[in-house]
Amino acid sequence: MSGLLAIAVIAAASQANAGTIAACGPQKGHAYYPAAGLVKKGQDGWEDDQISGGSTTLTQNDKGELDVLFKDSRGEIVSSRDDGGQIIPLRMSSKEITVLVAYPEGIQAAEIYSFVREVDGKAKMLQLSSKSAVMIPKAAVYVADCTTLNLPEK
């Protein structure tokens, strides 16, 4: 589904589906740290990475606007939208919703979140993250189990 069509579908369903679309727990994954910023040559490379106390929630308000809420390193819930992120729907089906969160200012990061219903019925979040305009730049991929995943039926 194209981005514009996904926006139209999400907006049309906004009044009936306002609230939580997905709620997911701690993330585990891998991160690559390039030799840039505070990372010296020889300290660069791949590492196991996790956000053990983390949580991620995809929400939609009454206007149909999406937001990604996440628990930051201080344990506080942060709205991606309020933090300067632009949330762009990329795909939506009865088995998946994928959004891009772009931060054009400040940290200049891009994150792609896919909330997927697997063949066994379990829900997962797949997250790709790229942050370069920070003191410790990194690119990472994470996965998390979700307790909630409300997708449109088709």
Count the alpha carbons within 13 Å of 70 in the hemisphere toward its beta carbon: 19
Q: What's the distance, Cα to Cα, between the start and end of the chain in Å?
A: 13
> What confidence tens digit (pLDDT) does each residue in 119-152 have?
999 999 999 999 988 899 999 999 999 999 998 7
**Distance in angstroms (rounded) separating the CA atoms of residues 90 and 142:** 18
* Whole-prediction pTM: 0.85
Domains of the chain: 3-149 (2.50.20)
What's the rounded Cα separation, in Å, for the pair 151 and 17? Answer: 9
pLDDT digits (tens, 9 = 90+) for 53-109: 889 999 999 999 999 999 987 889 999 999 999 999 999 999 999 999 999 887 789
